[in-house]
Structure formats: C-alpha cells, structure tokens
Homo-oligomer: A and B are copies of this chain.
Amino acid sequence: MASDHTRSAILAAAERLYADRGFGDVTLRDIVAEANVNLAAVNYHFGSKDELIAELFVTRSIATNRERLRELKAAEEQGGGRAPIEVILRALVGPTLRGCLGPENQRSTAARFMIRASIESVPPIRRIKNREIDHLRKFAGAMRRSLPDRSDIDIHWGLNFALAMAHHTIRESERLTKLSEGKCDLDDVEDVVARVVSVATMALTSGKAEAKAPSRLAAR
C-alpha cells in the first residue's frame, strides 16, 4: 500500500456524496468520478460497495462509542463505581448529539453523513448497528448501579427514551426547526443535551423510588 492516495480519495468522496444526496442515489460511478479514480478501484480496495459504506460508518461510530465509554468510565471512577444518573445519560447522548448537531458540525461532512446514516438505514449500516447492543448494555449496567432501587424494566425504558430523544432530534432536526419556526435552537448543542438529559433523568427518577434523593436536574 504505497500511498493510500486512491483509497482515501474514495473514502472522502463517498462520504461527501452520501452526506449530500443520501445512499439511495449515489452510485459507484458517481463516487469514482468525484474522487477522480477508476471504477474498479472501489472493488479492489474495499471488496464491495457495502464494505465501503460499512467502513465509513464504522470509522465514525467507533469514535463516538469510544468517547461515550471514556466519559462513562471517568464518571464511574470518580464516583467510586457509581455515577450520578445525569452524568451517565450525558455520556450516553452527549457525544452523539455533539457529533451531529451544532453550527459547524451541521455543515461538516462527517456529521451530515452520520445524520444520513441515521435516517436511511441501509443494510450494511443496519448490520453494524445490531452489534451495538453490547455497548448499550454497559450503559444499562451503569444506570442500574446508579439507581439500584429502580427495576430493570424502568432502567431499560429510560435508556430507550434517552436514545429516542437524542436520535429523533438528530434525525428530524430539520422538521423541528421548521415546526417551531426557528424558535428551537439546534445550534446550541449543549442546550439540547441538557434538555434530553433532564427529561430522561425525570423519566428514570420520578414515581416509585423518588423518595430518598430527588436528583438535581441537569443544568438548563
């Protein structure tokens, strides 16, 4: 692999095109034209179109997952094995939201690519997402340690709702902006994170086991 020039040109061109026009109508010929390389180069370097897409997605998502786990681990170590639920939730949804929203990220190729991946759900990407369960289990475990009085059911529903709010906000960010006539500011990512964490925390702490220590809500 002398220079990797062709290979990385393909990756960059593919990510750009997919980000702009979606997976549906970008062909290998579009990609190689954009990258100024030969058509056969894609199959030579990646084996198939699907493997190219998979590599693009894996690259971006392991970065996010690593950041998630880093934040989670740091929080649990600092709390002696038990992190506050808000911090856990922030570690869960923060990296994803920061990676896709925000004034600069909105225009970054990587961010737009990940939004597309979240919207269109093409087979190679779905396969990778299915392997994400082990990753999520770590968060379920941390949440259980943080809220030992809550049932497993509640924990999983809270996890589900937290991911729901984060992913849906990313995926439908355009519609939310239009619906609210620009009032909901998606460029202020930390505000979005705080809102999601706040609601998810309420979901997890309200009701049954609330008596002992009504956890402080995440900052507005």
Contacts and interface: CB of A to CB of B under 8 A. Distances in A.
Contact of A168 (B152, B167, B175, B178): B167
Contacts of A168: 160-161, 163-165, 167-168
A137 interface: yes
Interface residues of A, number: 42
A195 interface: yes
Interface string A126-169: 00001001001100100000000000110011011101110111
A156 B175 contact: no
Q: Say how many copies of this protein the assembly contains.
A: 2
Interface of A: 24, 119-123, 130, 133, 136-137, 140, 152-153, 156-157, 159-161, 163-165, 167-169, 172, 175-176, 178-180, 183-184, 195-196, 198-199, 202-203, 206-207, 217, 220
A165 B130 CA distance: 20
Contacts of A161: 165, 168, 195-196, 199
